[in-house]
Amino acid sequence: MNIYQLKVNFEEQGKQQVILPIAAGESVLDVCLDNGIELQHNCGAVCGCSTCHVYVNKGMDNVQDISDKEEDFIDRAVRPRITSRLGCQCVVINGDIEVTIPDQSEFLGH
């Protein structure tokens, strides 16, 4: 099994970058949750909402291609960018990836 590096940055004040191992076939959301990083996932990680939205800073070529369904949900995310992906759909295939998690406090109570 190939193990790569997942660098996680946070928009939220006071949170430092975290570097975690991520295996080919694992999603950014799963690795974050397994390591105690709070990333909302209201739909249960089935590409049914936009709360696990992340920005891919580096390594977009190392993750699975975006689906039409995922693009539709990203359009509903808070402040989407061209580099936006859903954490549950951002599955590493072959290489390191770096993401930024938007400030999660905006989602509390939604």
User: How far, in Å, CA of 76 to CA of 12, rounded?
Assistant: 21
pLDDT for the residue 109: 45
Q: What do you get for the CA distance between the two ends of the chain, in Å?
A: 37
Domain residue extents for the chain: 3-91
pLDDT for the residue 106: 65
pLDDT for the residue 78: 87
pLDDT for the residue 107: 59
Beta bridge partners of 45: none
- Which of 103, 2, 94, 19 lies closest to 55 in space, CA to CA? 103
User: How far, in Å, CA of 63 to CA of 11, rounded?
Assistant: 22
Domain 3-91 has CATH 3.10.20.30: yes
Which residues of the chain are under the pLDDT cut of 70?
A: 106-110
